[in-house]
C-alpha cells in the first residue's frame, strides 16, 4: 500500500481478499506498478487485477461499499457515516484514507481480538506501525494509561490523528518515524502492539525487547501461520516466550511474554 501510494495511487480500501487501490489514469505508471509487484512476489504470491472505471462520486460509492466490522460480538469498528442501532461493549470510529488498519483485514481483527483479552487498565502501551491508529484507540478505550504510537508514513500519522480525535482519546501520543530512530521514546512498556509484516517483525523484535518491561506482553500479527516458528525462534533469543496464538484464514497472531 505504501509503495503504491508513492506510485500515485490515492485511495485504498481493504477487502476480504486483499485491498483495492485507485489512481487517476494520467498518474498511472504501468512499469512502476509491475516493479512493485515483482518485488513482493518473491515474498508471497500476489494476484493483481486492474480495471478502468468512469469518473463518479467516489465518496458515495465508497460509503456504500465500506461495511462496519464486528469483532467477537464485542467491538464495533465503523466509519463516521455508519448508523448502527445496536450497542456494543466497544465502538471504534475508524475512517481510513491511505492508512492500513480498518478491521477488515484478518490481522487487524486478530490484534483487536487479542487486545480485548489483555488487561490494559493503567498500562503503558506502544503501537509500532500504527497505521490508522486503530490499535492505539482500542488500547485507550480498554483503559491504558498512556499510548505511544508511531508510523513511518506521513499520511498514516495524519489519518491516525484524525481518528484519535474523533474517538476522543486524549492519552495517545503519535509521531512519524521508526522505533530505531525515535529518540524521544523512553522507559518501559507493559504492552507492545506490532501488526506489520514478518520481515520487519523479525528485524525489530530485539528493539521491542529493549522497551518491554518484565512480564510485559508483545502482541504480533501481520504474518501467515507457517511463519509462526520463525517468529518464535527469534523471540526465544530475547527471552520472549509464547503465551497464546490465534489464526484467521491462514493469517496468524502471537502473544509473547517477556521472561
Q: Mind listing the pLDDT tens digit for each residue in 134-162?
A: 999 999 999 999 999 999 988 888 889 99
C-alpha cell at 163: 481518528
Asked if residue 246 lies in contact with residue 253, where contact means CB atoms within 8 angstroms, the answer is yes
What's the start-to-end Cα distance of the chain, in Å? 35
Distance CA 50, CA 52 (A): 7
What is the model's pTM?
A: 0.77
Last residue of a domain, one of 47, 63, 79: 63
DSSP 134-166: HHHHHHHHTT-SEEEEEES-HHHHHHHHHHHHH
Question: What pLDDT is stored for residue 97 in this prediction?
Answer: 62
pLDDT in tens, the chain (259 residues): 878 888 888 777 777 788 888 888 888 888 999 988 888 888 888 888 888 877 665 555 655 667 889 999 999 999 888 888 889 999 999 876 655 555 578 899 999 999 999 999 999 999 999 988 999 999 999 999 999 999 998 888 888 999 999 999 999 999 999 999 998 999 999 999 999 989 999 999 999 999 999 999 999 999 999 999 999 999 999 999 999 999 998 999 999 999 9
Among the three residues 16, 48, 63, which one is the final residue of a domain in this structure? 63
pLDDT for the residue 242: 98
Q: Are residues 30 and 58 in the same domain?
A: yes
Task: Say if CB 211 and CB 126 are below 8 A apart.
Answer: yes
In this structure, are residues 227 and 220 in contact, taking their beta carbons and an 8 Å threshold? no
**Which residues have a Cβ under 8 Å from the Cβ of 258 and sit 6 or more positions away?**
209, 212, 213, 214, 215, 216, 217, 218, 239, 240
Euclidean distance between CA atoms 223 and 112, whole angstroms: 15
Q: Are residues 47 and 76 located together in one domain of the fold?
A: no
How high is the pLDDT of residue 19? 86
Q: What is the pLDDT of residue 194?
A: 97
Do 248 and 158 lie in one domain? The reply is yes
Q: Are 134 and 94 within 8 A, CB to CB?
A: yes
Enclosing domain of residue 191: 66-258
87 shares a domain with 7: no
User: Could you tell me where the DSSP H helices lie in the chain?
Assistant: 2-6, 30-41, 58-65, 106-116, 134-141, 154-166, 198-211, 228-236
Give the pLDDT confidence score for residue 61 in this predicted structure. 60
Sheet of strand 75-78: strand arrangement: 69-71, 75-78, 90-93
Residues 133 and 216 in one domain: yes
Q: What is the pLDDT of residue 55?
A: 67
| Residues 252 and 221 placed together within one structural domain of the fold | yes
Residues 232 and 148 in one domain: yes
Q: Count structural domains, the chain.
A: 2
Amino acid at each position: 500500500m505504501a509503495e503504491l501510494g508513492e506510485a500515485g495511487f490515492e485511495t485504498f480500501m481493504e477487502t476480504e481478499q486483499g485491498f483495492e487501490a485507485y489512481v487517476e489514469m494520467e498518474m498511472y505508471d504501468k512499469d512502476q506498478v509491475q516493479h512493485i509487484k515483482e518485488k513482493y512476489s518473491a515474498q508471497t504470491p500476489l494476484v493483481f487485477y486492474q480495471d478502468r472505471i468512469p469518473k463518479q462520486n467516489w465518496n458515495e460509492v465508497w460509503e456504500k461499499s465500506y461495511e462496519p466490522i464486528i469483532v467477537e460480538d464485542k467491538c464495533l469498528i465503523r466509519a463516521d457515516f455508519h448508523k448502527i442501532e445496536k450497542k456494543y461493549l466497544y465502538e471504534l470510529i475508524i475512517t481510513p484514507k491511505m492508512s492500513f488498519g480498518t478491521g477488515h483485514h484478518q490481522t487487524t481483527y486478530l490484534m483487536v481480538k487479542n487486545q480485548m483479552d489483555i488487561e490494559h487498565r493503567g498500562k503503558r502501551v506502544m503501537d509500532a506501525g500504527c497505521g490508522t491508529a486503530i490499535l492505539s484507540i482500542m488500547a485507550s478505550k480498554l483503559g491504558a494509561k498512556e499510548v505511544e504510537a508511531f508510523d513511518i508514513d506521513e499520511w498514516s500519522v495524519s489519518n491516525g490523528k484524525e481518528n484519535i480525535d474523533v474517538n476522543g482519546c486524549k492519552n495517545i501520543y503519535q509521531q512519524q518515524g521508526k522505533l530505531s530512530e525515535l529518540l524521544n521514546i523512553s522507559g518501559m512498556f507493559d504492552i507492545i502492539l506490532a501488526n506489520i509484516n514478518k520481515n520487519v517483525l523479525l528485524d525489530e523484535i530485539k528493539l521491542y525487547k529493549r522497551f518491554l518491561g518484565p512480564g510485559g506482553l508483545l502482541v504480533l500479527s501481520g504474518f501467515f501461520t507457517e511463519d509462526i516458528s520463525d517468529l518464535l525462534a527469534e523471540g526465544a533469543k530475547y527471552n520472549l516466550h509464547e503465551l497464546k496464538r490465534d489464526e484467521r484464514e491462514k493469517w496468524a497472531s502471537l502473544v509473547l511474554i517477556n521472561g
